[in-house]
Chain A
Amino acid sequence: MNQEEKRKGKASRNKIWGILWRLVLPLSIVLAWEAVCRAGLVNSYAMPSPEAVVKTAVDSIRDGSLWGHILASFFRVHEGFMLAAAFGLVLGILMGLSKRAEHFFEVTVQILKPIPPIAWIPLAILWFGIGEQSKLFIIILGAFFPILLNTISGIHNLDPRYLELAEVYEVSRKRLITRIILPGAMPEVLTGIRVGLGNAWVCVVAAEMIAASQGIGYMLSNGRSMSRPDIVILGMLLIGIIGKVVDDLLKLVFSKLIEWT
């Protein structure tokens, strides 16, 4: 019992050290940044101190504007990502299962895929104006391709021995798809969804920087036009932190979904 407790104590101590170790670099960067600012080595109009950024954050939390920006971006990502996931999964499954469908869409997908979503912004504004639709369009483009491509390759990479198994036991086409092909593709599909969601974050910021009255991208462009680098940096940090937290959550949920691996 005593031995067991000791081992547990050691394990949790190791865990705490692990977390601290991970925080060493980011905390050092913040400290060095603060020190450089206090020493007056940089112009505070160009590079505010961490203290100033925290102060800006606290102020904007107090007046409620920060939540407004976060939620605005969050809802755009949510809507665009859901649509992209639906399109990407449906087309991906179709192209993965049917050679005919794959060959029909293949060349088009290959040409459209290397075009960065940001390159669509001028056209999107011409087509949809500067309202919500053009932002949604950019986000969908960003999230769609990773989901599509990972779904196709997940299906293609299925171990062919499982197809032979299906042959031996005369598994029906329907069950072959639902019990063998789709579950087998699941790990890659989920990777595609994570990458797609990451891209959706990148795209929402880009779209909001062009034209918006709310959102994290708007914070950035607004901060620049008001010469408030503290707002710009706060916005950038928000993108990074929210991106990491969302990805961690997805990883956690997905590891439950594919517990069998």
Chain B
Amino acid sequence: MERKDQQRAVFLQSVEKHFDAGPVLSGITLDVADGEFLSVVGVSGCGKTTLLRIIGGLERASSGQVLVYGEPVVRASRKTGFVFQDHRLLPWLTVEGNIKLALDHNTPDQDGIVRQNLELVKLQDFGDSYPRQLSGGMAQRVSIARALANRPRLLLLDEPFGALDAMTRIHMQQALREIWQKEKITMILITHDVEEAIYLGERVVVLSSRPGRIKQIVNIPQECHQTRTGKVFHEIRDQIYSIFFKGEDFAEKGD
């Protein structure tokens, strides 16, 4: 069963996850290509965060196969970056200290790595700041810089912009897209924001709720990544919404 496919970043085969309260994920089979940007959308409680945590090694699947770059996932690893919904910076460490904490302590040229990654998120002047001195968007950018510091091949993002205001969110999406284009890192983004999913993702996975199953995978045309106002963008968005609500008793599921 050992697969060594270097072109494949993530491979999920029949992944199931049960909690005590019942099934959370069911029959998830998914391929993510090296360098791809994949968005996953679903309503709250559909298990999309659990899916990401399984790929990241923070949780184990009840059954099924989970491979990241051909290796079975047994625990979280620096090779896979993880950005949480909250910035999760340690308040007692400076921005620089927070980024260095993510590195192996034997890593050479740590100052250079910090500088380089802060430049990437355009916060090169804030190395000595404490998290409380940063705005929500800036703190989340630091946490992205921290996740990138280990040069991961895969970056997992769990609703990273969910707590930010609308304007900041759009800036952050653009920044993330630029980083993806520049660094060619495979990214998986979990979100409940359909427009965000379309703008960033090359493919959008639509999950059903309780238990989460893949309803459909939508390929996103290139032009949707340039602007959010085009005709194609709106058609795709309407298509995803209709997939979303097909067979869902959404009137009961206020989110």
Query: Looking at the complex, which one of B77, B88, B146 makes contact with A162 (CB distance below 8 Å)?
Result: B88
Q: How far is the CB of B205 from chain A (nearest CB, A)?
A: 22
A183 located at the interface, meaning its Cβ lies under 8 Å from any Cβ of chain B in the complex = yes
Q: Is A261 an interface residue when CB atoms closer than 8 A count as contact?
A: yes
Q: Which of B92, B93, B102, B132 contacts A169 (CB 8 A)?
A: B102
CB–CB B90/A180 < 8 A:
yes
In the bound assembly, the distance between CA atoms of A169 and B58 in angstroms comes to 11
- Interfacial residues of chain A within 140-197, with CB under 8 A of chain B in the complex: 161-162, 164-165, 167-172, 175, 179-180, 183-184, 186
Decide if the interface of chain B is mainly helix, strand, loop or mixed: loop
Residue of B nearest to A159 (CB): B88
Task: Please state if A168 and B101 are interface contacts (CB–CB under 8 Å).
Answer: no
Contact assessment for A167 and B58 in the assembled complex, using a CB-CB cutoff below 8 Å: yes
Contact at A162–B90, with CB atoms within 8 Å?
A: yes
The yes or no answer to B130 lying at the interface (CB within 8 A) is: yes
- Would A172 and B82 count as touching, CB distance under 8 A? no
Asked if B182 is at the interface of the complex by the 8 Å CB criterion, the answer is no
Do residues A170 and B77 form an inter-chain contact, with CB atoms below 8 A? yes
Q: Which residues of B (59-78) have their CB < 8 Å from a CB of A?
A: 75-78
Q: Which residues of B sit under 8 angstroms from A164, Cβ to Cβ?
A: 58
B91→A260 contact, CB < 8 A? yes
B77 and A171: CB pair below 8 A?
no
With both chains docked as a complex, state the minimum distance between the C-beta of B221 and any C-beta of chain A, in angstroms. Answer: 34
Scoring A164, A169, A184, A186 by chain B CB atoms within 10 A of each residue's CB, the highest score goes to A169
B84 touches which of A161, A171, A172, A260 (Cβ 8 Å): A161
**Cβ–Cβ contact B91 & A169, under 8 A:** no
Which of B56, B101, B104, B105 is the most central at the interface, judged by chain A CB atoms within 10 Å of its CB? B101
Which residue from chain B places its CB closest to the CB of A259 in the assembled complex?
Answer: B130
Beta-carbon contact of A168 and B82 below 8 Å: yes
Report whether A175 and B86 are in contact in the complex, using a CB–CB cutoff of 8 Å: no
What's the least CB distance linking B77 to chain A, in Å?
A: 7
Residues in chain A near residue B84, CB distance under 8 A = 161, 165
The distance in angstroms between the C-alpha atoms of A183 and B130, with both chains bound, is 14
Q: CA of A53 to CA of B58 in the docked complex: distance in angstroms? A: 68
- CA of A161 to CA of B85 in the docked complex: distance in angstroms? 11
CB nearest neighbor in A for B89: A165
Instruction: Take A161-B84, A161-B86, A260-B130 as given contacts and tell me if A171 and B92 are in contact as well, using a CB distance cutoff of 8 Å.
Output: no
Q: Is the CB of B82 within 8 A of A261?
A: no
Inter-chain contact A183/B92, CB cutoff 8 Å: yes
Cβ-neighbour of A170 out of B86, B90, B92, B104 (below 8 A): B104
**Beta-carbon contact of B90 and A183 below 8 Å:** yes
How many Cβ-Cβ contacts under 8 Å join chain A to chain B? 50
- Give the distance in Å from the alpha carbon of A168 to the alpha carbon of B146 in the complex: 11
Taking CB atoms, residues of chain B closer than 8 Å to A172 are 105
- Are B88 and A179 in contact (CB-based, < 8 A)? no
In the assembly, what is the distance between CA of A187 and CA of B76, in Å? 30
A169: B residues at CB distance < 8 A = 78, 101-103, 146, 150
Cβ–Cβ < 8 Å partners of B92 in chain A: 183-184, 186, 258, 260
Closest residue of B by beta carbon distance from A183: B92
C-beta contact mask, A47-88 vs B, less than 8 Å → 1, else 0?
000000000000000000000000000000000000000000
B91 touches A171 (CB 8 A): no
Complex contacts, B97 vs chain A, CB 8 Å: 179
Q: How far is the CB of B102 from chain A (nearest CB, A)?
A: 4
Chain B residues whose C-beta falls within 8 Å of the C-beta of A186 in the assembled complex: 92
Inter-chain CA distance A172–B90, complex, in Å, is 16
Tell whether, in the assembled complex, residue A167 and residue B76 are in contact, meaning their CB atoms are under 8 Å apart: yes
Near A by CB (< 8 A), chain B positions 144-158 give 146, 150
Residue-wise, chain B 206-232 has the 8 Å CB interface mask toward A (1 for contact) of 000000000000000000000000000
Cβ–Cβ contact A165 & B130, under 8 A = no
Question: With contacts A175-B101, A175-B105, A179-B101 known, is A168 near B56, CB below 8 A?
Answer: yes
Q: How far is the CB of A243 from chain B (nearest CB, A)?
A: 29
Q: List 29 A-B contacts (CB under 8 A).
A: A161-B86, A162-B88, A162-B90, A165-B84, A165-B88, A167-B58, A167-B75, A168-B58, A168-B76, A168-B82, A169-B101, A169-B146, A169-B150, A170-B77, A170-B104, A171-B101, A175-B101, A179-B90, A179-B97, A180-B90, A180-B101, A183-B92, A184-B92, A259-B130, A260-B92, A260-B130, A260-B131, A260-B132, A261-B91
The 4 A-B pairs with the shortest beta carbon distances in the complex, nearest first, are A169-B102, A183-B92, A260-B92, A168-B82
User: Given A172-B105, A175-B101, 17 more contacts at CB 8 Å?
Assistant: A162-B88, A162-B90, A167-B76, A168-B56, A168-B82, A169-B146, A170-B77, A170-B104, A179-B90, A179-B101, A180-B101, A183-B90, A184-B90, A184-B92, A260-B92, A260-B130, A260-B131
